[in-house]
Structure 1
Amino acid sequence: GFRINTNVASLNAQNNANLNSRALDSSLSRLSSGLRINSAADDASGMAIADSLRSQANTLGQAINNGNDALGILQTADKAMDEQLKILDTIKVKATQAAQDGQSTKTRNMLQADINRLMEELDNIANTTAFNGKQLLSGGFTNQSFQIGAQSNQTIQASIGATQSSKIGVTRFETGSMSHSSGVAQLTIKNYNGIDDFKFQPVVISSSVGTGMGALAEEINRVADVTGVRANFLVQTTGAGSIKADKTSQDFTINGVKIGEVEYKDGDENGALISAINSVKDTTGVEASKDANGRLVLNSRDGRGIEITGNMGVGSGVLKDDYKNFGRLSLVKNDGKDILISGSGLSFIGMGAGDMISQASVSLRESKGNIDTHVADAMGFNAYKGGGKMVITFSSIEAFMSSNGSGMSAGSGFSIGSGKEMSKIYNSGNLALVTVFSNAFGFSAKNDGSSQFAAFAGTASIAAKDQQAGVTTLKGAMAVMDIAETAITNLDQIRADLGAVQNQITRTLNNISVTQVNIKSAESNIRDVDFAAESANFAKFNILAQSGSYAMSQANAVQQNVMRLLQ
């Protein structure tokens, strides 16, 4: 019907126009902001989810930055260590250059000076390499954490070992006593990998070809890549003093090869003794020479023992107790840890229960200083005492006990020098003193196992003497080669660990980068507006706004028809 007080059609048109106006405002807001959700009222649950996703994506973005910082730190350290490795390569090359007797003392000193400078630069790199003020190679960069995840404690840890010369290259040297007896030895390296033992084949220790310390060293070195232990030997007999005029006996023999009577002069100036011995060196395996002090040196070229029968003459300087010499075995391990051995016949290689094994762990820095007695003996320097026995001969023990200045009485016990390193053995009229480092004895002696009358003296030593620094000796150059190789291995291990961490970080960054993209995509699906759909909605609402205005005008015009009824 016709109503005047209430224009229902107009009210409906107004209501629809208001609704359309709000929808049009919302559509314009979305189109102008690009967001589907501009307020919590737009989509309460959607907004909560989108906010959570946005927080996660932003956190992952910072985690990516953290990871890139970590990569920067590790790459800085890696490049610095690459330079250190080049330095170590040069040190090893120079040590190798010094490890041949074509070098003079002067040239070896020059090579050592170069090595000292190289070590200084190596330490300089270790002490100055830093990132944002944090030292990287000095040993303080340990268990460092990098947050690489959206949630707390999602970290990657990294450590960089110290690379100073005092911390790398620590190499273990162990050398047994000089062996003076032959037999069969079977050696076992215990816990070579922390768990297992390695048992070597039995080796005959004798003066025959294919036996001796050389054969044992060959057996050990055959599997050095498995056990980590390498061996070298020294089978060398040195006269106690310079050669004096004398002659050998007619039955003078070395390693079963008869040489016979040889008359030689002071210093063997006519070369008779040395020439006679060397004339059969290819058969005996023993080569003779003189050292800088004019002493006779007999050296086994292949590591078999040196057995002398007959008589070389007192003038040769070779003592009777040294007529049988099977040498010393030296073991080297590149991790600085003790070399644990067991087995049978160890006394034949100077490593039995009653033998003194010299041991030392030496770092790269220590190798450039003077090599003290203890280290020299462990490295296998040719020494007169070498952990063997020095026998002081009196007519009887009683004569020694009653000797002026002995300070002892029959049956008394005693200690000498620096504590535990000394002990005593009584052998049927001889007093035997056993030591590892005999400097502290303070009296003179000729050789391991030698017999002589000895009085207490203040200066002479039966120990291996201190040696000059680093590569200034042949044996020292060999040791520096070992130490440099260990240092290279140490740095390679540190770099390998860094490389593994870098790869781990890179893989993590790849993963969280993809995760971040997917999370942002999920947030966009919820929060961002679909312009195509919203443009269509806007067009619809815009048309409805126009049609709504027309509808309201028509609804108001309908009331005018009532006036016609009143006319």
Structure 2
Amino acid sequence: MSLSINTNIAALNSARNLQVSENSLVQAQQRLSSGLRINSARDDAAGMAISTRFTSQIRGLDQAVRNANDGVSMLQVADGALSSVTDAMQRIRELAVQAANGSNSTSDRQALQSEVDLLRDEIDRVGRQTTFNGQAVFATAQSSVLGDSDQLAVLDGLRSGWLSQSESLIQEYFGLTADGGEISIELTSFSDGSGGTAARVTGVVPGSFTGKASDVTLQIDMADFTPPNLPDGGTAPFYNDRIIAHEMVHAVMYRSMNIASFFDTASDDQRWFLEGAAELIHGADERVASSIGSLGVAGLAAVADDLDGSWGGSSDEYSAAFLAVRKLHDEIKVLGGDGIKDVMSYLTNNQDAGLDEAIDAASNGTYTSADNFLTSAFNTAEAQTYIQAQVDSGSLSDSDTGAIGGANVDGGAVRTAESVVANFASRTGDDQLLGFAENWDEAAAGVLASNTKNFQLGANVGEVVAVDIGAMSALALDLNDLDLVSAANQVINKMDRAMEYVSSQRATVGAQINRIGSAIINLQTSSESLTASRSRILDADYAQETATLVKAQILQQAGLAITAQANALPQAALALLQ
């Protein structure tokens, strides 16, 4: 090469290489001191972008783990509250079982009621005031979440004696038991408005007017059963349990005898006997007194004289039918029989027979048919005499209802409007009737109240788990009306229903805790995997960087030495000038 002074190519080359080794040395020192392979975008532009996204995901996942743990804590608060609610309800149920025992006096039950009231208030307080970090844990409800409160109360009444006691009365005084067929119990399928038909039994009568009825259904009109006012239901003296007893007479007769013959209008309409017998099971002295008040004795007797005609279903006809069946009961007893029970037994034992044959047999031929009884023993004059005798005896105004077996009819114990149907069940659960297989209607669903919490259990939008916690107040659990003094059986039913709901809520909370626990493990695993991936991109490899550092240091030293020699080359030109 040429020897020049202005341009020292060797020095430039060595300086350039020295700069490269210096950059490598600086980068190696930077990576070794920071522990990062990428300290600026120039180190690895694509890697920087990728690692930034990894960092966002990792930090999001780590926060999601913290969110999940906060959610678990909140659910644990709910679980603890539900545990205390369950304990209180178990105690209330225990007290209700104690109160249902006949050994307790009214004052004993009132003492038990005092504790129940406090426990109910505590349940309500827990449901309303349990909070987590200032937020309400449970939902707020404006009505029962278990179902329509009135319908639930009626179902409780049916399961707490209305049905089983009615069936027992029919068995005891009429000797009737259904044949095991099905009966549907419905609360929502029928209504004619308040003040109309409170309840009715329907069935399909064979067109041949021979045999039993099918598709027997007890339909309750909630317009007349609201408010329920347990344990007897409704208002005095026509309590709901008496209405059910009346209708159950029809139901049992439908499935125990040749009921179709009673509806054969081609011969005689004998529904007066059906309704009169149904009234007799629980008594109808109050109805009779009302009819006399509006029609007088003679007027009611005139209605009785028309019973062998078509049945109209007026209240006065019910009064007359009740008196007619009661008169028939008295006549058969005078003849040495057991009264109406003899008629019913004959119909049960002779499935092809009708009412005419049964009355003939029960009266030993004194009355050859239903019409014969009405025309000879309960015509206008006979009916007026019989009704007047009831008025004169004072039986229509005393506390006895005139029910079969009671003081006014058979000289037994006084059967008042409250006591004529006992306030306790002889069977449990949905199997209330010995002679029927019941198909129960469900109460209308309650308005479900839910406190929904969305827990962010992921690093991205939409990665949430929704947790629903229901309401726990006394209103929501249908516990506002807990009466151990007069309705202990209904309290037991209420507590069973409420505890089933609370248990389901607690199971849901427990399942959500377990679910979130699994989510935490998954989040931690994901965060760990993403961190490992980011590390491979972002973290410095100390073995590699140490080797790079040593290499750069050596090159730096060598570069300095060579650069010094290259800078000395122009001095050789001076020798040519000497």
- TM-score after normalising by structure 1: 0.53
Provide the C-alpha distance between the structure 1 equivalents of 2:565 and 2:422, rounded to a whole number of angstroms: 120
Provide the C-alpha distance between the structure 2 equivalents of 1:442 and 1:109, rounded to a whole number of angstroms: 32
Partner of 1:305: 171
1:373 aligns with 2:250: no
1:40 aligns with 2:23: no
Partner of 1:485: 496
- Root mean square deviation, CA, Å: 5.6
Partner of 1:529: 540
Per-residue CA shift, 1:346-377, capped at 9, x if unaligned? xx9999848666989x9xxx99x964624999
What is the deviation of 1:234? 6.3
Letter aligned with residue 77 of structure 1 = A
What is the deviation of 1:413? 6.4
Pick from 324, 331, 334 the counterpart of residue 175 of structure 2: 324
Partner of 1:28: 29
What is the deviation of 1:114? 1.2
Partner of 1:173: 156
What is the deviation of 1:487? 1.7
Per-residue CA shift, 1:255-312, capped at 9, x if unaligned? xxxxxxxxxxxxxxxxxxxxxxxxxxxxxxxxxxxxxxxxxxxxxxxxx933xxxxxx
**SS of residue paired to 2:155:** strand
Give yes or no for contact 1:235–1:305 (8 Å, CA) kept in 2. yes
1:470 aligns with 2:477: no
Distance 1:507 1:379, change over 3 A: farther
* Matching of residues 61-80 of structure 1 within 5 Å: 61-80=62-81
1:503 aligns with 2:514: yes
Letter aligned with residue 133 of structure 1 = G
**SS of residue paired to 1:91:** helix
Give yes or no for contact 2:88–2:119 (8 Å, CA) kept in 1. yes
* Matching of residues 407-446 of structure 1 within 5 Å: 430=324, 446=401
| Structure 1 stretches lacking a partner, 5+ long | 142-160, 180-230, 238-303, 307-321, 417-421, 433-440, 454-459
What is the deviation of 1:539? 1.9
Partner of 2:115: 114
* Matching of residues 253-264 of structure 1 within 5 Å: none
What is the deviation of 1:74? 1.1
Give yes or no for contact 1:98–1:111 (8 Å, CA) kept in 2. yes
Distance 1:38 1:177, change over 3 A: closer
| Residue identity (%) | 26
What is the deviation of 1:384? 9.8
Give yes or no for contact 1:370–1:466 (8 Å, CA) kept in 2. no
**SS of residue paired to 2:156:** strand
**SS of residue paired to 1:470:** coil
**SS of residue paired to 1:305:** helix
Per-residue CA shift, 1:45-64, capped at 9, x if unaligned? 11111111111111112222
What is the deviation of 1:134? 2.1
Provide the C-alpha distance between the structure 2 equivalents of 1:555 and 1:125, rounded to a whole number of angstroms: 90
Distance 1:135 1:424, change over 3 A: farther
Distance 1:47 1:512, change over 3 A: same
**SS of residue paired to 1:560:** helix
**SS of residue paired to 1:472:** coil
Letter aligned with residue 37 of structure 1 = I
* Matching of residues 190-205 of structure 1 within 5 Å: none
Per-residue CA shift, 1:157-177, capped at 9, x if unaligned? xxxx9799x89x989336399
Per-residue CA shift, 1:209-236, capped at 9, x if unaligned? xxxxxxxxxxxxxxxxxxxxxx965665
Q: Return the structure number with greater relative CO, CA threshold 8 A, min gap 6.
A: 2
Partner of 2:17: 16
Partner of 2:138: 137
Letter aligned with residue 534 of structure 2 = E
Distance 1:171 1:64, change over 3 A: farther
1:551 aligns with 2:562: yes
Partner of 2:270: none
Per-residue CA shift, 1:2-36, capped at 9, x if unaligned? 41232221111000011112222222222232221
Between Structure 1 and Structure 2, which shows a larger proportion of strand residues? 1
* Matching of residues 85-100 of structure 1 within 5 Å: 85-100=86-101
What is the deviation of 1:465? 8.9
Per-residue CA shift, 1:497-523, capped at 9, x if unaligned? 111112111111110111011112211
Between Structure 1 and Structure 2, which shows a larger proportion of helix residues? 2
Letter aligned with residue 13 of structure 1 = S
Distance 1:511 1:177, change over 3 A: closer
Count of equivalent residues: 379
Letter aligned with residue 531 of structure 1 = Y
- TM-score after normalising by structure 2: 0.52
What is the deviation of 1:552? 0.4
Letter aligned with residue 93 of structure 1 = E
What is the deviation of 1:65? 2.1
Distance 1:130 1:541, change over 3 A: same
Distance 1:349 1:516, change over 3 A: farther
Provide the C-alpha distance between the structure 2 equivalents of 1:232 and 1:52, rounded to a whole number of angstroms: 72
